[in-house]
Structure 1
């Protein structure tokens, strides 16, 4: 039996402080495949933690039964620093309150950091090349000297994930249907994950512009492939961000359902020697993230939505009205907020008072939106 809890103390940035980071491992150390799962990198997004709360006992029991065929590393709440970020009874778990940096942005671009190290060491053996790259990444991480608790956290979790074959980063949206973010070259390879989750959309981008955690390892291998075209380098890590509905959806019944789906996905891949259960229905195929409109308001006001999640809209159709809160018609005037593309409503804002520039909906379409092509594709 190898199921174990691990606790690492992160040195605090002020005198007398530290924070405990918990993780679990399960499965044989000698397994050919490593699976890394983490939740609540945005610490105010708890549905993923609820799912892992229910998945962990399933992994523990499978480990005791000797049916795990992969090595599992699980961080049920990967950002304890963000759990402490509160102000006036409000949880600010998305951003480091010292630097203002989004916890899921600005993760390191690894290939430039290791390019010189692997130069001249690649061969005609794909597996050996992956091992060389992973060893170089591990050495680079070990050489870092984090200057803050947040940087310690990044290096610790990146070290835990760097040699994984499958990396799943569990998040949620504001008010949303289930969806996935991943790289286009990882599809249709992750279609089974989309099916088991029952997602409404799989949104793909090679580079969304923010340096998100799920893009770090695929980008490493992609850049290595392009820079060393004469050597075989597989895309050795399949990574995705799983968006488990909305922030208010941390319910026990959802967690049980989501854990069962994750278990079924893993069993269906042969990573757990267990019955995967009833095969899921096929989810929609991937859609370029550039075809998803992030609909924003150009003035402050009070939102009155006209559409529900999942509802199809056409370009020019009102998605919501914005009630004026200042000016000559304050609290009388309503300005329609119009969809800019054909598609369906994937997410909405739970806060109905909005300031200028606020994102109030994501509309998943099928046609690339010119203003989105090659730009920053995330909401913040």
Structure 2
């Protein structure tokens, strides 16, 4: 039996402190395909952890039956540092409180770090080139000496993910329908994942501007290929951020359904020798992330939504009212907040008090927006 729990103790940055990172492995160590799964990189986002809680026994049982055809590594809650950041009864699991950095931002530009080590060494063998690139990243990781707990955590996660073939990062939005973020080259290849998840949208971008975890490995292969156009360097990884609804959607029945869908996806790929079940209804095709409007408000106030999740809207349509909380019309005046594009409402804000500049909704359209061209596509 290969199903195994692993425990890594991360040294704390202050006297007498530490954090514990748990992971599980399952499947043959010499399997040709490696899968890396993680949840709660934003530690205040728990739907993915619930899904992996239900998936782990499925993988354990499949492992005992000899059904696993891939090597699975699972981090059910990948950010113990973020789990500890509770202040005045509020969980602030999205940001490192020491640096202010979002835990899912500023992941390293791996090709820049290994470009010198691989220069002139690629051949006409694509498999050998992928192996060379992965080894170079592995060697760089082995040479690092983390200076903080956050750096140690990132290096531990990177050691697992850097040579994986499938990397799925489980998140959630504030109040949202299911959706996926991924790289454009990976679609329609990951359409089967979108189908099994039954997402409302798959949003694609080469670089959304923040150095997100799911963009790190595609950037490695993309940059290597562009820097070596005369050598075959395939996109040797499938990565995606899976957004499992909203923060409040943490329930056993929902997590179990999500786990069954993930199991079905892997089984349909032949990575688990089990019946995946009926093929799901096709999900919508991917759209570019810069066709999705992030609606922001130009003043603080109290939100009163006029639209539901999934509702179709047109440009100029009021999607919410912002109730004034100061000035002559305080708590009386309502200002409409208008949609800036045609599309459907993918997400809303869970907290209805919003500051000036706060994002209150994402509207998924089909045509790239001039306001989003070449900019920072993420909410924060």
Q: TM-score interval w.r.t. the shorter chain? A: over 0.9
CA distance in 2, matches of 1:140, 1:324: 53
Gapped runs of 5+ residues in structure 2?
none
Q: Which residue of 1 aligns with 2:223?
A: 223
The C-alpha deviation readout for 1:117-138, integer Å capped at 9, x for no partner, is 0112211111111110000000
State which drifts further: 117-126 or 37-46. 117-126
CA distance in 2, matches of 1:119, 1:297: 48
Q: Which residue of 2 aligns with 1:278?
A: 278
Q: Does 1:357 align with 2:357?
A: yes
CA distance in 1, matches of 2:125, 2:74: 30
Q: Which residue of 1 aligns with 2:377?
A: 377
**Equivalent residues in 2 for 1:173-322, closer than 5 Å:** 173-322=173-322
CA distance in 1, matches of 2:241, 2:157: 15
CA distance in 1, matches of 2:171, 2:88: 24
Q: Which residue of 2 aligns with 1:130?
A: 130
Q: Which residue of 2 aligns with 1:26?
A: 26
CA distance in 1, matches of 2:240, 2:26: 21
Q: Which residue of 1 aligns with 2:150?
A: 150
Q: Which residue of 1 aligns with 2:339?
A: 339
How far is 1:145 from its partner?
A: 1.5
Gapped runs of 5+ residues in structure 1?
none
TM-score with structure 1 setting the length: 1.00
TM-score with structure 2 setting the length: 1.00
CA distance in 1, matches of 2:119, 2:204: 31
State which drifts further: 143-152 or 179-188. 143-152
Q: Give 3-state SS (helix, strand or coil) of 2:370's partner.
A: coil
The C-alpha deviation readout for 1:148-194, integer Å capped at 9, x for no partner, is 10111001101110000000000000000000000000000000000
The C-alpha deviation readout for 1:101-128, integer Å capped at 9, x for no partner, is 0000000000011011011221111111
How far is 1:211 from its partner?
A: 0.1
How far is 1:143 from its partner?
A: 1.2
The C-alpha deviation readout for 1:241-288, integer Å capped at 9, x for no partner, is 000000000110010000000000000000000000011000000000
Q: Which residue of 2 aligns with 1:58?
A: 58
Alignment length (residue pairs): 380
**Equivalent residues in 2 for 1:6-85, closer than 5 Å:** 6-85=6-85
How far is 1:328 from its partner?
A: 0.5
CA distance in 2, matches of 1:147, 1:374: 34
CA distance in 2, matches of 1:192, 1:366: 21
CA distance in 2, matches of 1:53, 1:287: 31
Q: Give 3-state SS (helix, strand or coil) of 1:371's partner.
A: helix
